[in-house]
Structure 1
Amino acid sequence: MQFQSSVYTYCVTLVTYIFFTIKYSLSLHLDCQAGDSGALDEGGDGSKEEEVTFYEERNFGGRSWECMGDYADFSSQLSRCGSFRVHNGCWMMYDQPNYMGNQYFMRRGEYPDYMSMWGWNNSIRSCRYIPMYRGNYRMRIYERENFGGQMHEMMDDCDSIMDRYRMNHCMSCHVMDGHWLMYEQPQYRGRMWYFPPGEYRNWRNFGNPNMRFMSMRRIMDSWYN
């Protein structure tokens, strides 16, 4: 009986040890998975998905400031912006506060002298992050303000609405799905504007009610690589 009791005690101890060992190992595994998931949410290289570093001077000189998302007025952070680095994502940059004025679409990269490159007289004053979108694209464009005149529904890029639809210009639009860029001239040339989903009865909110768009393209998820 004493031998059987010892064997029983040994077996219970062994089973208990194995149970807690497995439980501890599983806990470590789950913690590692959670840590990996957090890193992926911030970007595969450990950097954040939305980040731009702005510099006061050209060629990344002077004071710097890291921006993590939409920002309507840089004046509280930098007196001016002479250069910047886009670490991740796609962004729109504006030369006026509150997302007004000239705007330019930017992807990941370094921009040591963007004002000369774009021909701007003013430095960036506000910026907006463009969220990645995967899905179908759909937009209706109209010949006149308030959804008047000819209407055409688009689901892909168009380098000339004149060639495709015999429309002289687009004066209002309704973006149902996806994020789009629209250009003043055919072949994606001239000034550009960013259109997220929404109804746009005219261009007055952009500061130029007489704008006319002649080409438009989708902001694709592949642009975020």
Structure 2
Amino acid sequence: MGRIIFFEEKNFQGRSYESSSDCPDLNMYLSRCQSIRVELGCFVIYDRSNYMGNQMFLRRGEYTDLQRMGSMMGMGGMTMMDSIHSSRMIPMHRGQFRMRLYERESFAGQMYELMDDCESVQDRFRMSEMQSCNVMEGHWLMYEQPHFRGRMMYVRPGEYRSLRDIGMTAMMRISSIKRITDAC
């Protein structure tokens, strides 16, 4: 179980909304969200409703200014983020992690299996493109740049025939992948 509190203004000011589950549209509760306190668990926040747009992974802690934090983390698209519009709670996963990566959409092309963190998809698999994946076990974060930097996408168990369907832009390439092993 997780617990997150959203605040309309920076530094935990203004109206607030508390949640212990996924929230597809924060606009139902707040006019905007500019700071967050995660009291328990891990969450992924999105700058658009229905779990779309730029994403940021949050673990237990206080986030006083989300715009500033996004720019400090090297998340180019996050610097223009003026508010958070949805959030997803990440359940705790115990056990193995397993994912299959594919060069092309619909699980076509060369396939590689991943069971641990990968700092560089290009260096490890000599794979320049990754357009689909099958997450069999665990929860993962996929990053635009090597060494877990830049914009990211959260994936949970399931088949992803096209990473574009879950928010990858035409210019974005997955360069590193990390397991979510935090005590979420």
Q: TM-score, normalised by structure 1?
A: 0.75
Describe how 1:1-225 pairs up with structure 2 within 5 A: 49-118=1-70, 119-210=79-170, 211-220=172-181, 223-224=182-183
Q: CA deviation at 1:187?
A: 0.9
Higher helix content, 1 or 2: 1
Kept in 2: contact 1:88–1:224 (CA 8 A): no
Give 1:218 deviation, angstroms. 0.5
Structure 1, gaps ≥5 residues long: 1-48
Offset at residue 188 of structure 1 (A) = 0.8
Structure-2 separation of matches of 1:187 and 1:62? 36
- What's the TM-score, normalizing by structure 2? 0.91
Q: Is the 8 A contact 1:115 1:121 kept in 2?
A: yes
Taking only aligned residues, the RMSD between alpha carbons, in angstroms, comes to: 1.3
Describe the superposition over 1:85-138 as per-residue Cα deviations: whole angstroms up to 9, x where unpaired. 000101000000000000011000000101111024331000000000010111
The answer to whether the 8 A contact 1:50-1:69 is kept is yes
Q: Give the aligned length.
A: 175
CA distance in 1 between counterparts of 2:163 and 2:136 reads 18
Letter in 2 for 1:219: I
SS at match of 2:88: strand
Q: Deviations over 1:133-160 (max 9, x none)?
A: 0101110001111111111011111000
Structure 2: gaps of 5 or more residues: 71-78
What is the Cα deviation at residue 184 of structure 1? 1.1
Matches of 1:204 and 1:185, distance apart in 2: 17
> Helix, strand or coil for the counterpart of 1:204?
helix
Query: Deviation digits for residues 11-69 of structure 1, max 9, x if unmatched?
Result: xxxxxxxxxxxxxxxxxxxxxxxxxxxxxxxxxxxxxx311111111101111111111
Q: Which aligned runs of 4 or more in structure 1 are off by greater than 4 angstroms?
A: none
Larger strand proportion of the pair? 2
